[in-house]
Chains A and B, each alone.
Chain A
Amino acid sequence: MVVIQRVVKATTRKGKKVLIKKEPQVNEGPKRALFLQGRRSSDKLRRLTKDLFDIKKPDAQLLNKKNDITIFEDATPVERFCRKFETPLFVMSSHSKKRPDNLVIGRMYNYSLLDMIELHVENIECMREFACQKIVLGTKPSLVFNGPTWEETEELKHLKSLFIDIFHREEVESVRLQGLEHTISFTATPEGKILIRSFNVLMKKSGTRVPRLELEEMGPRIDLTLRRSKLPSEDLMKEALRKPKELKVTKKKNISVDGLGTTHGRIHVGKQEIQKIQTRKMKGLKKTPEEIKMKRAAKRSADNNNVNKIKKQKLG
């Protein structure tokens, strides 16, 4: 059944602004995440959701009620929620006998499901259990991915992309050097576990320009295992990764950067007539009035000779 969607027209100016905000834009801001529950939730999951929500604030929405959603069978309820709250990312927690402590992380493209990965939360230690100073809300964290397996399987590749998507907040052009306070590390063990650790970065003196770092564990300590996954179709992912023309960097012609970082430029100069180049005037080399007279006389005689030659040719 085809659902006919009413074209929503705004009656007020405020409503119109809200609709304009929802339209696709060239530069997109930080992605919002939706935290929701399935049929039942466990204590572990509740604590985890609260912690992740605290990290992701203010770009996050937390829903407290239970929902009768089985996402791998039918993802439309989640799609509807994501459309309502304008959140392209979602984290759904559910607990059942078959799949205890289940966490599904996924993302949407154009309000429809792009991909999602199901994880089993084995162990969690909340932020509250670590007695240290926490970070300021909204700092962009640095992400560390340990382990060779991140590049080996398709699922882990997508999971890496998902984690970057959730935690990197916003794409920025420049970052304050003193502002790198938070770091989140994702370790993929050879057994197949994923360990997430979050640290507070302290910068200490090092005698050089670059500071020496000390890490202090502050955030949730999460141990995960992979369960099911739904990877995106090739063409949908390609469409989602497409960059708008406005953001494509136009390469400047005749400028190149070599391996060492030096910028080389090519200047195209026109043909130069070396004989007629204006050089510096040296007063000593200037022709005297007599010399100019001599030159003129010589030229005149040469002309006469030429004229005689032409006359001879004509006659002859």
Chain B
Amino acid sequence: MVALLTGSVLNTSTSKYIPTEVHKELKFDLGNLAVFDDSHIDEDNLKTDNRELYLKELNKENVQALINSIWGLPTIRKDEVLLAQLPEPITPVPREKPVPEKRPPTKWERFAQLKGIKKRKKSRLVFDDVTGTYKPRWGHQRANDQSKDWLIELPKQADPYMDAFGEIKENKKGRILKNKKQQNNNNTNTIDVRPQALKKKALEREIVLTKKSTASLGRFDQKLKEEPKIKQAHAKKNKFASNIEPKKARGKEQSINKAILKKVIASIYRPIVKHIITSPFRCSAGALSLLITKVELV
């Protein structure tokens, strides 16, 4: 907020007129045409009958100060009218709706940006050869209207029994449908924003993954001519030790299987044991000891 003493050079007045200077410390918000007077208001003045007069005088001073500062702003002349250029408003005023989001560019907009194609403004009226006048480019009573042709010249190779007039109508319907489809494609959020190069890489990666997802890891897949060589992965081979071997060898297989079994049973029994131990109800010692020994055995 700018505090100004408005006794500026502009206001040096002659003795004939009432002075327009205001010697008051006020704060201005010229962008909103507002003036803020922080000076203390005399309560006694407000209680008397002179209340309205007092308010009027107070406001007169403040508005005079505001006018003084507005007249001090830079001015421009527009259409024979003098305009004062207001600064940005200081008091923040909230918006009524949120800031609009920028919609993503459409397929054509992206292409045009890539190629550097700029929009060229087309004229509304075009010369119509038939009437020899200027008519609108599109819409009602347009120039060079194909649908209004009373005669269509067929080329030599064309079928004379084909409905040429109907074909024009069908083509137009097709164009409208295509346009609607393209509009819908633009409106949906599933626009592929990736450039072509990235898409190729993604495809290549997908090929590699699909190959690896077979049991033989793509060893016996039919390869195309120009397919790139992919590092061959090897499947994990499960080695099974014999169950019938002498005790030393048997031990390994047995111990592996025992360990698995232990884990499985423990995962079933552990929550039960935990529940028993932590539960407020007493459990018979016999049942508890049985459970614990069962877990230990295994």
Which residues of A are at the interface with B, using a C-beta cutoff of 8 A?
Answer: 23-26, 28, 31, 88, 107-110, 114, 140-148, 150-151, 160-161, 164-165, 168, 171-178, 180, 183, 185, 187-191, 195, 197, 199, 201, 205-215, 217, 221, 237, 239-244, 249
Which residues of B are at the interface with A, using a C-beta cutoff of 8 A?
Answer: 10-14, 16-20, 31-41, 43, 46, 52, 55-56, 58-60, 62-64, 66-68, 70-71, 75-76, 78, 81-86, 88-89, 91-100
Query: A residues within 8 A CB of B32?
Result: 143, 164, 168, 171
Bound-state CA distance A243–B94 (Å) is: 9
B86, A175: Cβ atoms closer than 8 Å: yes
A145, B36: Cβ atoms closer than 8 Å: yes
B33, A141: Cβ atoms closer than 8 Å: yes
Bound-state CA distance A270–B66 (Å) is: 47
B20, A208: Cβ atoms closer than 8 Å: yes
Bound-state CA distance A249–B88 (Å) is: 10
A195, B36: Cβ atoms closer than 8 Å: no
Bound-state CA distance A24–B40 (Å) is: 42
Chain B residue with minimal CB distance to A191?
B43
Query: A residues within 8 A CB of B66?
Result: 142, 144
User: Assuming the A-B contacts A144-B37, A175-B70, are A199 and B31 also in contact, with contact meaning beta carbons closer than 8 angstroms in the complex?
Assistant: no
Chain B residue with minimal CB distance to A246?
B99
Bound-state CA distance A114–B96 (Å) is: 10
B10, A177: Cβ atoms closer than 8 Å: no
A-B contact count (CB 8 A): 196
Bound-state CA distance A173–B10 (Å) is: 23
A206, B35: Cβ atoms closer than 8 Å: no
Chain B residue with minimal CB distance to A141?
B33
B92, A146: Cβ atoms closer than 8 Å: no
Query: A residues within 8 A CB of B81?
Result: 176
User: Assuming the A-B contacts A175-B84, A237-B94, are A164 and B41 also in contact, with contact meaning beta carbons closer than 8 angstroms in the complex?
Assistant: no
B11, A208: Cβ atoms closer than 8 Å: yes
Known: A110-B97, A165-B93. 18 other contacts (CB 8 A): A24-B98, A31-B96, A109-B97, A144-B34, A146-B37, A168-B33, A168-B34, A174-B85, A175-B33, A177-B71, A185-B58, A195-B55, A205-B17, A206-B18, A207-B14, A208-B17, A213-B67, A237-B94
Query: B residues within 8 A CB of A212?
Result: 17-18, 20, 64
Q: How far is the CB of A240 from chain B (nearest CB, A)?
A: 4
B97, A24: Cβ atoms closer than 8 Å: yes
A215, B68: Cβ atoms closer than 8 Å: no
The contact of B86 among A28, A151, A173, by CB within 8 Å, is A173
Chain A residue with minimal CB distance to B76?
A174
Q: How far is the CB of A201 from chain B (nearest CB, A)?
A: 7
B63, A28: Cβ atoms closer than 8 Å: no
